[in-house]
């Protein structure tokens, strides 16, 4: 198993995983739109995607979106998506993807890497805390649904 920075050659692998990820979050499967969405992210360089491969098969991915901290005037990366196929879980793949994401954030001069997860996703929370992520106790985050 190895992790690569996804490019257009990895589109099919990433799109399939991205579709599975969305289904995990109770969305209907839509491989076509998933592929279009990922292709647009790659084409526009809107995100950075790391792909975990077993042989040449995609088994997991993480997607980072860029942001900035106005106060520190530095880059922030949002770890928006993390997914590993169920048959490959409990093998350290998510940990490796998270470590690659953190290394990338450091290499790009980011001040922090942030993420959000569902309040009831205890497995993900345990993983994040084991890697040193801390809940934000300083700020409450709000969203306006449009």
Chain mean pLDDT for the chain: 94
Cα distance between the two ends of the chain: 40
Q: How far apart are CA 22 and CA 27, in angstroms?
A: 5
Does 6 map to a domain? yes
pLDDT higher than threshold 90 for residue 4:
yes
The confidence score (pLDDT) of residue 143 equals: 84
Average pLDDT rounded to a whole number, residues 42-50:
96
In-domain check, residue 51: yes
CATH at residue 44: 3.40.630.30
- Domain span at 90: 2-130
Q: Is residue 142 part of a domain?
A: no
Q: Which stretches of the chain are DSSP H helices?
A: 11-24, 31-44, 93-107, 122-130
DSSP 30-52: -HHHHHHHHHHHHHHT--EEEEE
**In whole angstroms, how far apart are CA 117 and each of 2, 69, 110, 128?**
25, 21, 21, 10
Burial class from Cβ neighbours inside 10 Å (0-12, 13-18, 19+) for residue 101 reads buried
Number of domain units in the chain: 1
pTM of the shown model: 0.93
Would 13 be classed as within a structural domain? yes
Q: What 3-state class would DSSP assign to 113?
A: strand
pLDDT score, position 28: 97
* % of the chain at pLDDT higher than 90: 83
The tens digit of pLDDT for each residue in 120-146 reads: 888 888 999 999 999 888 888 888 889
- Residue 122 has what pLDDT? 87
């Amino acid at each position: 198993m190895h992790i690569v920075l996804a490019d257009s050659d990895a589109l099919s692998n990433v799109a399939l995983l991205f579709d599975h990820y969305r289904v995990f979050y109770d969305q209907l499967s839509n491989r076509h739109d998933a592929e279009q969405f990922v292709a647009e992210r790659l084409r526009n360089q809107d995100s950075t995607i790391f792909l975990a491969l077993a042989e040449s098969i995609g088994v997991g991915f993480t997607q980072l979106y860029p942001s900035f901290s106005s106060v520190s005037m530095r880059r922030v990366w949002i770890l928006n998506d993390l997914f590993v196929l169920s048959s490959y879980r409990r093998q350290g793949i998510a940990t490796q993807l998270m470590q690659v994401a953190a290394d990338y954030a450091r290499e790009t001069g980011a001040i922090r890497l942030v993420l959000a997860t569902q309040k009831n996703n205890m497995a993900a929370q345990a993983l994040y805390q084991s890697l040193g992520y801390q809940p934000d106790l300083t700020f409450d985050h709000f969203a306006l649904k449009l």
